[in-house]
Chains A and B, each alone.
Chain A
Amino acid sequence: MPLKPLDIYKLLPKKNCKECGDPTCLTFAMKLSGGKAKPEACPYLDDNAKTILGASTRPPVRRIRIGVGERALTVGEELVQFRHEKSFFHEPGIMIAVTDMMPAESIKKEVIFVRDWVLTRIGTDLRLNGIAVRSVSGSPEQFARAVGAVEEVADLPEVLMADDPLVMEAGLSVCGNYRPLIHAARLLQYREMCRLAKKYGCPLAIKADSLDSLAELSGLCVAEGVDHLVLDLSSPNLHALLNASTAVRQHAISRTTPALGYPVCIDTGLGGLSDASLIAGVTKFGSVLICDDLPGASRKALLVLRQNIYTDPQKPIQITPGLYRVGTPGRDSPVLLTVNFSLTFFTLQGYLEASRVPCFMLIVDTEGLSVLTAVASGKLQETVVRDAIGKYDLANEVSHRTLIIPGYSAPLSGRIEEITGWKVLVGPRDAADIAEFLEKEWKP
């Protein structure tokens, strides 16, 4: 349980000195409680306060950075088991695997693809995150060559996958300065792997046969001075994988087993069910997902699922206000007004497309509120409508002067008519009824 703001306030110096950057100690306490500030920002904390605040304000899942530069991947810092409790914060990185048996040209092609491929949705660019290099040959030289081929093309975050510390060191000698994830330390060789992680300042994935040994291994690594860890839970058995990742998240956020308070890594190429492993990884607490082959359709679906799951449930996705076209509308096509709450937009758009009536959607800014709440809170007002009509030059797009508004905004119809001079038709409350409505009521 995170400490409440007032509990934290009691531990602060109560000087309102502003040296932390916040105007009052209370503000600072609120931020600490939400994990939005670090106790170190306060220069006047006593040791006791530091200990208490350090333990309870540090994120229960450690923040880990893989790679450098603008494509660097940050994972961890998760606080909840269910996204509805607050939100999931850092999207899992999707790392496409190459092997050191592949010709350099094939590797480069793959890397270029990962670097450049992009899917743009709702104004956001969805991308793959990085490259995993598997040591298959067992040869340090060949591994180094493969890593070199990756480096030649792009500065993407990397996962170096080799069990032999000698092979790993060969890879690190090529890209160790770019903070790749070292994958993976095991009970037998963790000392060497920890030495490498320290030498190059890299995060370290660790792997063991059971969660208990994994927790033990994590303790051993910390004792070696490596605390930027990632827990590898890969298994061909999805049941085992899901139970392990759920246990790790629960033990971490409840702070019952701090040794498991690290992000999770999953190699999804193990059981022949890579789609299913990726889905389990995205929905259930994976942070680094390694996959061998990702056909186009799966790739898009995966990134869209990831975007959905990592949307902040308390901040509805907003659509950019504007005039949208459904089909190829003409000057006498209907204009339907609605709010910029994504769900409302997509639902209406879907039904309009199904109705096969070409039309315009006039999307006004209600800060992402739905029709009902926007009307209730006054975010949807006649002035908003008037401004939108002007801004998107509606009068020049269509020859008529009729606006169809959502059923729940009926109380505004008169005021909209008055201020805009447009005739208002009140549409149905439910988007599902829009086709019938247009058929019956729409005459240009």
Chain B
Amino acid sequence: MGLTPLSEWSGQIGELVIGATRTDGGTRSHAVTIGGERDLPYIGIPPSGHIPRVAYELTDDPSLWQSAAIRTIGDRAHDPSDWAAFAEKELQPDLIRLYLSSTRRRGFSDLSQIGKTVEAVLQATKLPLIIEGSNDPALDSSVFRKIGEAAEGERVLLGTAESGRYRSAAAAAMAYGHSLIAQSPIDINLAKQLNILLRETGLPHDRIAIDPYTGALGYGFEYSYSVMERIRYSALKGDTDLAMPLISSAADSLTVKEVREAEGGDADQAAVAWEMYSMLPATLAGASIVCVRHPLSIAGLKSAIASLWNGQKSVGV
């Protein structure tokens, strides 16, 4: 009789492409496609859609970064392009997520540096990029314009749009051919609402990734886990306003007491464990991109995802 999972879905998650290669007018070595699923994550032989991807997060302002994440990075942490080149070569994530955290400092004004940083990182790595801009309505307009311009043609994934401040990020995505992360505070209805607002700006649905916000493991992660499952479930049931790929980040999980208070090598182990135990579940709940900050988290996550995907130790790009 062949007992297999019961699939009764009518919807499909949209596909989202990040990165443009030379033939598409960019300079990335390859593009990453996510989404496309017609069933629950990893379910089916082969599973539907595209394999979940691992992004490595770095910043232009390491003083705002968790120390556990940069202990082993050393001086590279002070130059995002160096850091990115090192990451591509040594850590081999699928994507790099650059946080322009400097824009979140009080009194930030050096706009031209933003453009330079983005250009330098694009030079330093050929991996597809996710770029995080400011989170202050007073700065958004100029910051996102700068990022959009500097990365024009590279089809990056821009973050982050929220209800209340989504116009600048959406405008940059539309004006310069990028995609957009739409973040809502752990609530399926707010996620949907933001997608509808973005549609009204004219941004097509196939250029949106949903970030339902990921709470720290042990401190609200269960809410994020269920919201991801519910968004995925609704999309598969046919709700097209929720049928975008999901992105989840372990950033909060590195701020928990258990990681912060660990020392030396224990701190690395704790960081890696906390990232693994929040991000692999995130892919099981439906995330298409999971983001980590500890360099040693990447390999483990990638092989776990590969085994869940097709039982192999690794999956080629």
Q: Do chains A and B touch in the complex (CB under 8 A)?
A: yes
Q: Which residues of A contact B (CB under 8 A)?
A: 82-84, 121, 210-212, 215, 236-240, 242-243, 246-247, 250-251, 254, 256-257, 260, 271, 273, 275-276, 279-280, 282-284, 295-298, 300-302, 304-305, 307-309, 311, 313, 342-343, 346-347, 350, 353-354
- Judge if B129 is at the interface, Cβ distance under 8 Å: no
Chain A residue numbers with a CB within 8 Å of B258 are 300, 304
Question: 7 closest pairs, A vs B, by CB?
Answer: A237-B311, A276-B304, A301-B277, A297-B273, A211-B3, A308-B222, A346-B219
Q: In the complex, given contacts A297-B274, A309-B222, what are 14 additional A-B residue pairs having Cβ atoms less than 8 angstroms apart?
A: A83-B222, A236-B311, A237-B307, A239-B307, A250-B6, A251-B6, A273-B303, A275-B276, A280-B280, A283-B225, A297-B262, A297-B266, A305-B278, A308-B217
Chain B residue numbers with a CB within 8 Å of A243 are 4-5, 42-45
CA–CA, A286 to B231, complex, Å?
A: 23
Chain B residue numbers with a CB within 8 Å of A311 are 222
Q: B277 touching A313 by the CB < 8 A rule?
A: no
- Judge if B226 is at the interface, Cβ distance under 8 Å: yes
Q: B216 touching A280 by the CB < 8 A rule?
A: no
Nearest Cβ on chain A to B200's Cβ, whole angstroms: 24
CA–CA, A85 to B304, complex, Å?
A: 27
Q: B42 touching A239 by the CB < 8 A rule?
A: yes
Enumerate 20 A-B pairs (CB-CB under 8 Å) in ascending A order: A215-B3, A238-B308, A239-B42, A239-B45, A242-B42, A246-B5, A246-B43, A247-B3, A247-B4, A247-B6, A251-B3, A276-B280, A298-B273, A305-B221, A308-B218, A309-B222, A313-B226, A343-B215, A346-B220, A347-B220
Q: A280 touching B270 by the CB < 8 A rule?
A: no
Chain A residue numbers with a CB within 8 Å of B270 are 297, 300
- Which of A239, A246, A279 has the largest number of chain B CB atoms within 10 A? A239
Chain A residue numbers with a CB within 8 Å of B262 are 297
Q: A238 touching B222 by the CB < 8 A rule?
A: no
A308 touching B308 in the complex, CB below 8 Å, given contacts A296-B269, A301-B273: no
| CB contact list, B201-238 vs A, under 8 A | 215-223, 225-226, 229-230, 233
Name the one of B6, B47, B221, B272 contacting A308, with C-beta atoms under 8 angstroms. B221
Chain A residue numbers with a CB within 8 Å of B4 are 211, 243, 247
| CB contact list, B60-98 vs A, under 8 A | none
Nearest Cβ on chain B to A308's Cβ, whole angstroms: 4
A239 touching B310 in the complex, CB below 8 Å, given contacts A246-B5, A247-B3, A280-B284: yes
Chain B residue numbers with a CB within 8 Å of A280 are 280, 284, 308
A83 touching B226 in the complex, CB below 8 Å, given contacts A243-B43, A247-B6, A302-B277: yes
Chain B residue numbers with a CB within 8 Å of A247 are 3-6
CA–CA, A237 to B309, complex, Å?
A: 9
CA–CA, A241 to B225, complex, Å?
A: 20
CA–CA, A158 to B253, complex, Å?
A: 33
Chain B residue numbers with a CB within 8 Å of A246 are 5, 40, 43
Closest to B47 in A: A239
CA–CA, A256 to B217, complex, Å?
A: 35
CA–CA, A203 to B225, complex, Å?
A: 32
CA–CA, A243 to B47, complex, Å?
A: 10
Closest to A432 in B: B135
Q: B220 touching A343 by the CB < 8 A rule?
A: yes
| CB contact list, B17-59 vs A, under 8 A | 40, 42-45, 47
Name the one of A256, A275, A346 contacting B304, with C-beta atoms under 8 angstroms. A275
Size range of the chain B interface in the assembly: 35 or more
Name the one of B42, B230, B276, B303 contacting A301, with C-beta atoms under 8 angstroms. B276
CA–CA, A271 to B306, complex, Å?
A: 12
Closest to B276 in A: A275
- Which of B6, B222, B229, B258 has the largest number of chain A CB atoms within 10 A? B222
Q: A276 touching B307 by the CB < 8 A rule?
A: yes
Q: A239 touching B269 by the CB < 8 A rule?
A: no
Chain B residue numbers with a CB within 8 Å of A237 are 307, 311
CA–CA, A237 to B46, complex, Å?
A: 13
Chain A residue numbers with a CB within 8 Å of B269 are 295-297
Q: B307 touching A273 by the CB < 8 A rule?
A: yes
Chain B residue numbers with a CB within 8 Å of A300 are 258, 270, 273
CA–CA, A298 to B285, complex, Å?
A: 20
Chain B residue numbers with a CB within 8 Å of A342 are 219-220
- Judge if B137 is at the interface, Cβ distance under 8 Å: no
- Which of A251, A271, A296, A308 has the largest number of chain B CB atoms within 10 A? A308
Chain A residue numbers with a CB within 8 Å of B266 are 296-297
Chain B residue numbers with a CB within 8 Å of A82 are 226, 229-230, 233
- Judge if B317 is at the interface, Cβ distance under 8 Å: no
CA–CA, A119 to B269, complex, Å?
A: 17
Chain B residue numbers with a CB within 8 Å of A304 are 217-218, 258, 277
Name the one of A236, A284, A296, A350 contacting B255, with C-beta atoms under 8 angstroms. A350
Name the one of A84, A211, A305 contacting B281, with C-beta atoms under 8 angstroms. A305
Chain B residue numbers with a CB within 8 Å of A239 are 42, 45, 47, 307-311
Nearest Cβ on chain A to B103's Cβ, whole angstroms: 15
Closest to A430 in B: B185
| CB contact list, B124-165 vs A, under 8 A | none
Chain A residue numbers with a CB within 8 Å of B230 are 82, 84
Q: B3 touching A257 by the CB < 8 A rule?
A: yes
Name the one of B40, B233, B276, B307 contacting A238, with C-beta atoms under 8 angstroms. B307
Name the one of B40, B42, B307 contacting A271, with C-beta atoms under 8 angstroms. B307
CA–CA, A283 to B226, complex, Å?
A: 11
Nearest Cβ on chain B to A116's Cβ, whole angstroms: 19
Q: Per-position contact with A for B264-303: 1 when CB-CB < 8 Å, else 0?
A: 0010011011101110110011000000000000001001
Nearest Cβ on chain B to A25's Cβ, whole angstroms: 35
- Judge if B241 is at the interface, Cβ distance under 8 Å: no
Chain A residue numbers with a CB within 8 Å of B225 are 83, 283, 308-309
Nearest Cβ on chain A to B267's Cβ, whole angstroms: 9
